[in-house]
Amino acid sequence: MVGKEILEKPKNNSDVQKKRIKELESQLDSALSQLKQLRSAKFKLALGKPKNTKGSQHCRVIVPDSHGCLVDKKAAKAFFHDLGIIKPSQIVCLGDHIDCGGFLAQHHTMGYVAQTEYTFSDDEHAANVFLDTLQEIANCETIYIEGNHERRIENWITTQTLKNTKDAEWLKERFSIETVLNLTKRGFRHIEQGKTYDKLKLPGTVKLGNCYFTHGSSTSQHAASAHVKKFGGNVVYGHTHRADSYIIRQVKSGTIGAWSPGCLCELQPLWQHTNPTEWSHGYGLQMVRSNGDFLHINVPIVDGKSLLSPLVEELK
């Protein structure tokens, strides 16, 4: 008697492949669902105008580059301590709050390991923890300006998809900054590098009252001077990781200035090798009046200690 298994028609290879594809698609959907849950923001808020804290003025805090996994934990701790004291009604994040190193750092030499010690998942997790902490302490209107490191994701997507619009959109839905950092869920106003806002002619820039905010367009030794002359008005920028300021008086604009608060990331990253940086830790603080005028202060953080807290205690 011929066995039943011999009489059965052999399975077509294409049927086996289709079944395997369905299994893989199911696993991918499950993995994406888990990833979405892990990326979910803990804190959410609704966008609104900054509330006045004292009379006709309010506090604005400017957060410089923190770079995801490369954040300096002591500097960040000092910053968050001050944030709890200040209780601002508005926060401006200047960008580069995720590092996007490794395979996303396409400008680095092949085989160079300085930015391959952590995964993209580690990096986005660190950035989300930073933003979660920011919102837990000061759940207020927040503006998030993209930096050149956030831009690496879109550059990678465009390169990998060979500028195919449909494929690019598919990847952006899953890996864009908007997605991985939950910017919409958080209620942040997202300022993209490639778009213009508030009728300004320069992309990736906003104007709040009498001050412009941008990630930065110069890393030269005299970057503050270059920014104030280029903008022709008050401007706060990041990108350089150096605390800096420059004040000038112009016939048309009057007295105007540019400020860089410094950074909240490591001051001597591996990719700098034996080249000592001129970077410094700190953040920006502005007391803003209803007419848009403001007092800007670059608050230094030295060896993990803010120089604002002791002054506040002295003034009590």
Lowest mean pLDDT among 5-19, 145-159, 249-263: 5-19
d(CA 124, CA 176): 11
Predicted pLDDT at 304: 95
Which residues, in sequence order, are CB contacts of 79 under 8 Å at separation 6+? 63, 264, 283, 301, 306
Q: Nearest CA to 89 among 288, 313, 262, 264?
A: 288
Predicted pLDDT at 23: 73
What are φ and ψ of residue 70, in 5° steps? -95, 15
Band of the pLDDT at 241, cuts 50, 70, 90?
very high
Handedness of CA 248, 291, 65, 281 (dihedral sign): positive
The residue ranges of every structural domain in the chain are 57-315
- Burial state string for 58-84 with b = 16 or more CB within 10 A and e = fewer than 16: bbbbbbbbbbbbbbbeebbbbbbbbbe
Other CB atoms within a 10 A radius of the CB of residue 113 amount to 10
d(CA 279, CA 216): 15
50 and 143 in contact (C-beta within 8 Å)?
Answer: no
**Whether residue 162 has pLDDT greater than 90:** no
pLDDT cut 90: percent of the chain above it: 53
* pLDDT tens-digit series, residues 253-311: 899 999 999 999 999 887 777 788 999 999 999 999 999 999 999 999 999 999 897 77
Band of the pLDDT at 28, cuts 50, 70, 90?
low
d(CA 238, CA 117): 25
Which range has highest mean pLDDT (105-119, 212-226, 269-283)? Answer: 212-226
pTM score, two decimals? 0.81
Element (H, E) at 253: none
Band of the pLDDT at 113, cuts 50, 70, 90?
low
**Whether residue 6 has pLDDT greater than 50:** no
Length of the chain: 316
d(CA 100, CA 150): 7
* pLDDT tens-digit series, residues 174-190: 778 888 999 999 999 99
pLDDT cut 70: percent of the chain above it: 79
Please report, for the chain, how many H helices and E strands are present, in that order: 10, 12
Residue position matching structure tokens 């011999």: 6
Task: Specify the CATH class of 57-315 in words.
Answer: alpha beta
Q: Average pLDDT for residues 94-105, to the nearest whole number?
A: 84
Which residues, in sequence order, are CB contacts of 200 under 8 Å at separation 6+? 206, 207, 212
215 and 145 in contact (C-beta within 8 Å)?
Answer: yes
Predicted pLDDT at 232: 93
198 and 206 in contact (C-beta within 8 Å)?
Answer: yes
Region of residue 162 (left: phi > 0; alpha: psi -120 to 50; beta: else): left
**Whether residue 112 has pLDDT greater than 60:** no
**Whether residue 122 has pLDDT greater than 50:** yes
Band of the pLDDT at 97, cuts 50, 70, 90?
very high
**Whether residue 75 has pLDDT greater than 70:** yes
